[in-house]
Structure 1
């Protein structure tokens, strides 16, 4: 993707993600969200949801990226969001890091209370069954970075009842 420092390690399933990242995710509690970065296209401002979502909690940077139908990579303090994105394969679009997003902006400056892993477990057949989302809970609000079936999605507010919450602490 031409993103400086982005070297994803994709994991599949709750246990793999929990085993690798439980401690570091849990330690984010008590920190303030001080910034975020998403990749948007310069031409139209559209979010390119295939690229990682980068969150900064008082200097601890976590990047989250969903890929394929069930893979999640979580990285720590590796992506340089000040660097120009290079080696881009779609010549008609110009990607750039942006700190503009109406869903995430209201959370900046707030203290994080808890991070949970969410596992999608619907009652019926569902292609997304077993996918993992990461939920960030603040005082009276929350957002999730979810698998949008081969890309990231950002959801704000109440958690869908088909998610099973797994606390990390």
Structure 2
């Protein structure tokens, strides 16, 4: 089964920081020092807006990490499985990949990733324990978080409602 008609994409849902560190910690830490080439989002062509239910692709050239949230605490991280140049074939939506389609994303390509952090939500609500992925890109950040059954993006350092876990040096 394809998720939203994205060819080759098979999410692997995990819950909790320990599970994510075990499966992806070393590889996420290994992104440090690489240059971000593109942030790809799925665009809803009919509504002319970001389709936040689909994965966020971070293209670092030799590595592409695909981040996807669903429910209150499911996080899927996959690697190099999606080609954003291929058509999305979902029968219910007209969708297409777009590089940096939102204004805050246009400043990110060309920035070097300092490090990655896994961020545990501690806001005292039903999302407690959900895990976001934070990327320190020097003078700016990109955080891909669980926006209650879809992906959300923040463009600033993680706030006090996150317990921060730096990966790598």
What TM-score does the superposition give when structure 1 sets the normalisation length?
A: 0.93
In the alignment, is residue 111 of structure 1 matched against residue 112 of structure 2?
yes
In the alignment, is residue 34 of structure 1 matched against residue 37 of structure 2?
yes
Look up the SS of the partner of 1:21 in the other structure.
helix
Give how far 1:58 is off.
Answer: 2.5
Look up the SS of the partner of 1:119 in the other structure.
strand
Give the equivalent residue in structure 2 for 1:129: 128
Give the equivalent residue in structure 2 for 1:149: 148
Give the equivalent residue in structure 1 for 2:139: 140
CA–CA separation in structure 2 for the residues paired with 1:67 and 1:139:
29
CA–CA separation in structure 1 for the residues paired with 2:30 and 2:109:
18
What TM-score does the superposition give when structure 2 sets the normalisation length?
A: 0.93
Look up the SS of the partner of 1:103 in the other structure.
helix
Give the equivalent residue in structure 1 for 2:95: 95
Look up the SS of the partner of 2:118 in the other structure.
strand
CA–CA separation in structure 1 for the residues paired with 2:105 and 2:77:
18
Give the equivalent residue in structure 1 for 2:11: 8
Task: List aligned pairs for 1:46-125, cutoff 5 A.
Answer: 46-86=49-89, 88-90=90-92, 93-99=93-99, 100-122=101-123, 124=124
Give how far 1:159 is off.
Answer: 1.4
- 8 Å Cα contact 1:40/1:47 also seen in 2: yes
| Runs of 4 or more above 6 Å deviation | none
- 8 Å Cα contact 1:119/1:131 also seen in 2: yes
CA–CA separation in structure 1 for the residues paired with 2:105 and 2:135:
11
CA–CA separation in structure 2 for the residues paired with 1:24 and 1:161:
26
